[in-house]
Amino acid sequence: SAVISQKPSRDICQRGTSLTIQCQVDSQVTMMFWYRQQPGQSLTLIATANQGSEATYESGFVIDKFPISRPNLTFSTLTVSNMSPEDSSIYLCSVDRSSHGYTFGSGTRLTVV
Amino acid sequence: AQKVTQAQTEISVVEKEDVTLDCVYETRDTTYYLFWYKQPPSGELVFLIRRNSFDEQNEISGRYSWNFQKSTSSFNFTITASQVVDSAVYFCALSALNSNSGYALNFGKGTSLLVTP
């Protein structure tokens, strides 16, 4: 199954700043997915990233707040912009590996102070 | 619309007991996929099973078994002879084609399982 390298694994950031999270997949994939997991909660889809086109965002998430890049079939970034304490969450990227299920990165644990 | 309901928020059992985690889903699509994931305290998501909507066969993998019933839109997960290492949050998820997000996963709220010695 695919291996996803996600970084940083954790960060503590000041409010008002931005953080860019990177995900590198060890094989080419068409779609990459970005999720947020707030403390003690389930996973919520932020957006779907296709290579060569703009990401599509779920209700409640906007490009200005969570810009995504997808420059090639193995890499994507998610930026959390103008952070506030409410953005403190775990952010995960994911790809579909068919019979192996969806593989997730190890997550980025973000704390905004 | 797609929805996954895990009505059990927390379950606590004593080691060696059997435990069933419930999952009920909603979708209008005839082609869809169901999943279970385990999230131990360390936080990583561990894939357990993927089942497509055309395969209603139950599955057993060691102490784990899954019961898929389309008639009741349920995909329940049973752990037999539970162990302390089974303590985790378990998520049921649904994937069906969505014009916005493709086949992205929709997760239930999760069931936190605590197995005590």
Contact A48 B109 (CB under 8 A): no
Residues belonging to chain B with any Cβ–Cβ distance to chain A shorter than 8 Å? 35, 37, 43-45, 47-50, 91, 95, 100-110
Partners of residue B95 in chain A, C-beta under 8 Å: 102
The span from the CA of B97 to the CA of B82, in Å, is 35
Between A1, A41, A96, which is nearest B103 by CB? A96
Structure tokens at A105: 């990165």
Between B49, B95, B107, which is nearest A43 by CB? B107
**Angle A45-A112-B42 (CA atoms, 0-180°, nearest 5)?**
60
pLDDT confidence bin for B8, thresholds 50/70/90: very high
Partners of residue A2 in chain B, C-beta under 8 Å: none
Contact A42 B100 (CB under 8 A): no
Long-range contacts of range A102-106, CB-CB < 8 Å, 24 or more positions apart?
A: A102/A33, A102/B35, A102/B47, A102/B95, A102/B105, A103/A1, A103/A2, A103/A3, A103/A4, A103/B47, A104/A4, A104/A35, A104/B44, A104/B45, A105/A4, A105/A5, A105/A6, A105/A23, A106/A4, A106/A6, A106/A9, A106/B43, A106/B44
Stretch among A6-20, A96-110, B25-39, B80-94 having the lowest mean pLDDT: A96-110
Write out pLDDT tens, residues B23-44: 999 999 999 999 999 999 988 9
What spatial distance separates the first Cα and last Cα of chain B, rounded to whole Å?
41
Write out pLDDT tens, residues A31-87: 999 999 999 999 999 999 988 888 999 999 999 999 999 999 999 999 999 999 999
Whether residue B99 is predicted with pLDDT greater than 90 in this model: the reply is no
Higher-confidence residue: B99 or B45? B45
Give the pLDDT of residue B57.
86
Give the pLDDT of residue A74.
94
Give the pLDDT of residue B56.
87
The residue among A102, A106, A111 with the most chain B CBs within 10 A of its CB, best to mutate, is: A102
Contact B61, B5 (CB under 8 A): no
Whether residue B91 is predicted with pLDDT greater than 60 in this model: the reply is yes
